[in-house]
Chain A
Amino acid sequence: MSPNPNIIDTELSPAAGRGPSYAIQRVYAGFMMWLISRLLQAASAVDPVIKKDIDRLPEDFSFSMRVRSGSPALAMRKMGDDLRAVQPSALQRPALVFEFKHVAHAFLVMSFQESTPRAFANDRLAVDGDFACAMKIMRSLNRMQALVLPRFIAVRALKAYPPIGIVEKLGLAARIYGRLVIDLFKRDPS
């Protein structure tokens, strides 16, 4: 906290004066981006619906999701048939970039306070790159969230919750989390 109570410490205090500080939001968004990239990597290997969209991406396709300042960020690259999480610094010029204008906007989405379509509509999140590829990645992210999140959380992140039976959902979710754990024990490319 700033030593002078009349001066707002802009780094530590969100403008609203409520909720976690920007520093905490940055740490949380960074963790979520790390988790999202690993979950999407696992889901793209397990779920046939996501795999179909990933298969249609160009060879060596790469994308990044980041806050405008550059951090936090996630990066993924298509390697053969797989979509792999990589270090953001490993991508010189990703084919596609999803960019949040501010860490507070990334936090809103990553904490399920604002859905991704609403973030686009509110000009908090922008896409730079090929839109057809962007739509495939967004569909994959939506599907992944529908599978791995409890329904009451997923409905806050998605425009519509897809018609997935509970047995199918639990089965796929178990396989995705299992694959995530296996991937973590493998040699991490990042």
Chain B
Amino acid sequence: MNREYFEFVCPVKMVAGFRALEHIPFELDTRGSVRPMIVSDKGVVAAGLVDIVVKAITSEGGQVGPVFDDVPPDSSMDAVNAGAASYLESGCDAIIAVGGGSVMDTAKAMNIMATEGGGDPRRYAGYNNLKHRLKPYIAVPTTAGTGSEVTAISVIKDTDAGMKTFYFSQFLMPDVAVLDPRMTLKLPPMITAATAMDAMTHAVEAFTCLAKNPLSDAYAEAAIRRISEWLVPVLRKPDDARGRLELAQAAAMAGIAFSNSPVGLVHALAHTIGAMYGVHHGAANSIFLPYVLEFNLPASRADIGDLLFHLAGPEDFAGTPVERRAEAAIARIVEMKEAAHAICGLPRTLSETGKIPKEDLPKIAENSLDDGTVVMNPVDVTYEDALAVLERAWGD
């Protein structure tokens, strides 16, 4: 009996391309909103990106409520409470998030409180604890990596509880994601590389982990093709608007892919060194990706081999013997890492981060096994396995 089964959801309207921001007034109007609050962080505001969004709205006679720019780099429950209070006091009727993953995640949790009229956001934490739609929410990503603009997940640092609070609900998804190349044109090369490799990891893990399905595969493949083609050109020419848009689209597609086919061991390890040493999530994913693919070869050789088509193109794919395609795909990812390292110094190994003592690898291995993403890895992971991958990723 055929036992195949999958679920796939992405109700987010994508508004992408040249002058995309100027579509926001229409999107607000069609959702009955006349006074959106903007959620951002101080870095994005200082870069002038919020001004561009505000002008796009007000130039068509629209109003903008307060700009809440107190979102810290790792998000926070305090920011969720303060932002929701600001929303409710100022009579807003929609949220526009302008920023990276932390800003978009914080805005998702704020939207719960804005819709519920206040209270303790922890009441709604967990899996599918929202039972109805929230206020209109438009996401304008200013990095091309996290994919938060299309995911149903929000992770908020809760300092009082000493943990990260996790929200998962289809209702957290933005109504609209606006991908405009102006939002990422000034992104520094190092962040561009790290976030693009974050998106690459989302797509590759979605394509090779247990919940892969025909629709998540289609998005993952398209994302991988774009990142392979555009990452290095954009690093060499950061003001390439076409390339910036391609990477933004790839990040959104990778987000759709991993939102419907969750990630595996690469993320378990990256989450762990991010929490223990503050290593940038995208940089950490980039470091681990080829080593985890090598580890997963016994269960995923065919899937990893198929990646070569999207990483290197049809000619290289056709010219590579089937039994060598998986190794060739991994080698292509290593080439991308080398290129990014040469152009902007993206670390290739754990030792190159300069943040992790080698003697801590056993502790990292132990902690990584407590990360929920391990469940979706195609190969079962033991402590010894995790430690072996970490030792390979250490470099020297």
Q: Which residues of A contact B (CB under 8 A)?
A: 99, 113-114, 117-118, 120-124, 126-132, 134-136, 138-139, 158-160, 162
Q: Which residues of B contact A (CB under 8 A)?
A: 3, 5-7, 126-129, 163, 166, 209-211, 369-372, 374-376, 379-380, 382
Q: In the complex, which residues of chain B have a beta carbon less than 8 angstroms from the beta carbon of A160?
A: 379-380
CB distance from A157 to the nearest CB of B (A): 12
Interface centre among B3, B5, B7, by most chain A C-beta atoms within 10 angstroms, is: B5
15 pairs, A vs B, C-beta closer than 8 Å: A114-B3, A120-B211, A123-B6, A123-B211, A124-B5, A128-B126, A128-B129, A130-B163, A131-B371, A131-B372, A132-B371, A134-B372, A135-B369, A135-B375, A160-B379
Q: In the complex, which residues of chain B have a beta carbon less than 8 angstroms from the beta carbon of A123?
A: 5-7, 211
A132 to B372, CA, bound (A): 7
Given contacts A126-B127, A129-B126, A160-B379, contact A135 B210 (CB under 8 A): no
B376 engages A120 (CB within 8 Å)? yes
Given contacts A126-B127, A128-B126, contact A121 B370 (CB under 8 A): no
Interface on chain A toward B: helix, strand, loop, or mixed SS?
A: mixed
Q: Which residue of the partner chain, among B6, B129, B210, B370, contacts A131 with CB atoms under 8 Å? A: B370
Q: Across the two chains, which residue of chain A brings its CB closest to B6?
A: A122
Q: Which residue of the partner chain, among A99, A121, A127, A158, contacts B372 with CB atoms under 8 Å? A: A127
Interface centre among A118, A129, A130, A134, by most chain B C-beta atoms within 10 angstroms, is: A130
List 8 additional A-B contacts (Cβ < 8 Å) besides A127-B127, A134-B372. A117-B210, A117-B375, A120-B375, A121-B209, A122-B7, A130-B163, A131-B372, A160-B379
Q: Across the two chains, which residue of chain A brings its CB closest to B129?
A: A128
Q: Which residue of the partner chain, among A130, A138, A162, contacts B375 with CB atoms under 8 Å? A: A138
A-B contact count (CB 8 A): 56
Interface centre among A114, A121, A159, A162, by most chain B C-beta atoms within 10 angstroms, is: A121
A120 to B6, CA, bound (A): 11
Q: In the complex, which residues of chain A have a beta carbon less than 8 angstroms from the beta carbon of B210?
A: 117-118, 120-121
B375 engages A132 (CB within 8 Å)? no
Given contacts A123-B7, A135-B369, contact A158 B380 (CB under 8 A): yes
Q: In the complex, which residues of chain B have a beta carbon less than 8 angstroms from the beta carbon of A114?
A: 3
Q: Across the two chains, which residue of chain B brings its CB closest to A120?
A: B375
CB distance from A85 to the nearest CB of B (A): 24
Q: In the complex, which residues of chain B have a beta carbon less than 8 angstroms from the beta carbon of A117?
A: 210, 375-376
B3 engages A135 (CB within 8 Å)? no
CB distance from B124 to the nearest CB of A (A): 12
Q: Across the two chains, which residue of chain B brings its CB closest to A139?
A: B369
A126 to B166, CA, bound (A): 14
A139 to B372, CA, bound (A): 11
A128 to B371, CA, bound (A): 14
B370 engages A132 (CB within 8 Å)? yes
CB distance from A51 to the nearest CB of B (A): 16
Q: Across the two chains, which residue of chain B brings its CB closest to A132?
A: B370
A162 to B382, CA, bound (A): 9
Q: Across the two chains, which residue of chain B brings its CB closest to A161?
A: B380
Q: Across the two chains, which residue of chain A brings its CB closest to B376?
A: A121
Q: In the complex, which residues of chain B have a beta carbon less than 8 angstroms from the beta carbon of A99?
A: 127
CB distance from B205 to the nearest CB of A (A): 13
A98 to B307, CA, bound (A): 34
Q: Across the two chains, which residue of chain A brings its CB closest to B3?
A: A114
A158 to B375, CA, bound (A): 11
A135 engages B211 (CB within 8 Å)? no
Q: Which residue of the partner chain, among A122, A128, A135, A159, contacts B370 with CB atoms under 8 Å? A: A135
B371 engages A121 (CB within 8 Å)? no
CB distance from A33 to the nearest CB of B (A): 20
A117 to B210, CA, bound (A): 8
Given contacts A121-B211, A158-B380, contact A126 B375 (CB under 8 A): no
B380 engages A159 (CB within 8 Å)? yes
Q: Which residue of the partner chain, among B166, B372, B382, contacts A135 with CB atoms under 8 Å? A: B372
CB distance from B8 to the nearest CB of A (A): 10
Q: In the complex, which residues of chain A have a beta carbon less than 8 angstroms from the beta carbon of B371?
A: 131-132, 135
Q: In the complex, which residues of chain B have a beta carbon less than 8 angstroms from the beta carbon of A132?
A: 370-371
Q: In the complex, which residues of chain B have a beta carbon less than 8 angstroms from the beta carbon of A124?
A: 5
Q: In the complex, which residues of chain B have a beta carbon less than 8 angstroms from the beta carbon of A120?
A: 210-211, 375-376
A102 to B291, CA, bound (A): 38
A118 to B371, CA, bound (A): 17
CB distance from B144 to the nearest CB of A (A): 27
CB distance from B17 to the nearest CB of A (A): 33
Q: Across the two chains, which residue of chain A brings its CB closest to B165?
A: A130
Q: In the complex, which residues of chain A have a beta carbon less than 8 angstroms from the beta carbon of B376?
A: 117, 120-121
Nearest first, the 10 closest Cβ-Cβ pairs linking A and B are: A160-B380, A131-B372, A121-B210, A132-B370, A121-B211, A128-B127, A159-B380, A128-B126, A123-B7, A122-B5
CB distance from B382 to the nearest CB of A (A): 8
A113 to B3, CA, bound (A): 10
Q: In the complex, which residues of chain A have a beta carbon less than 8 angstroms from the beta carbon of B211?
A: 120-123
A120 to B372, CA, bound (A): 11
